[in-house]
Amino acid sequence: MEPMTDAMDLKILGKLQKDCDQSLELLSDSVGLSSTSCYRRIRRMESVGIIKAKVAVLDERKLGIQVTAFFLIKLDRDSNDIDRRMQHILLSHPEIQDCYLMTGEFDFVMVAKFRDAAEYTEYIYRFLETYRDIPIRTYSSTLVVRTVKKSYELPLQGVGFCSGG
């Protein structure tokens, strides 16, 4: 069942996406609700899983993470068991920030972060050696030269919603 949201919920979500650390008073004033009503809406959206987490966005450069890599993997044969095993493997690697099971030429696209090119190279060799029994047909990786846009905000304008809430 789809969680019930309305235009006010989307307004709150838009504000929270920009700054989830703002005070409840500031948030409720900015959307035109009482603090109590705003608080209830936020708690409801948390309880139904619309708000999944509140996290700090870290500056990777200031933490010494200099390399972002995209990996593309095509498995040698179609098998749900291999797909599931590959998914389990990828979930266990903290370097991998995002991983997608895809349609098209490749089965998986991964985004990973590394301190430097040496760590990236070491990771590739270690990964391929450790999982050599996984039937990988094609493997490709590419490094990001410059990030043009990175957003953590979902586009909420035009999002369909269920009336109510």
pLDDT in tens, 65-117: 999 999 999 988 766 677 778 888 888 899 999 999 899 999 999 999 999 99
Whether 7-48 and 60-143 share one fold: the answer is: no
Q: H helices of the chain, where?
A: 7-18, 24-31, 35-47, 80-91, 117-130
Strand partners, 114: 67
Q: H helices of 68-116, where?
A: 80-91
For 7-48, CATH number? 1.10.10.10
Give the predicted TM-score (pTM) of the model: 0.80
Q: What percent of the chain has pLDDT over 90?
A: 72
Tokens representing 119 are 């760590």
Q: In the Cβ-directed half-sphere of 60, how many Cα atoms lie within 13 Å?
A: 13
Tokens representing 17 are 């996406």
Parse the chain into domains and list their residue ranges. 7-48, 60-143
Distance in angstroms (rounded) separating the CA atoms of residues 81 and 9: 40
- Domain 60-143: state its class: alpha beta
Residue that wins the pLDDT comparison between 5 and 83: 5
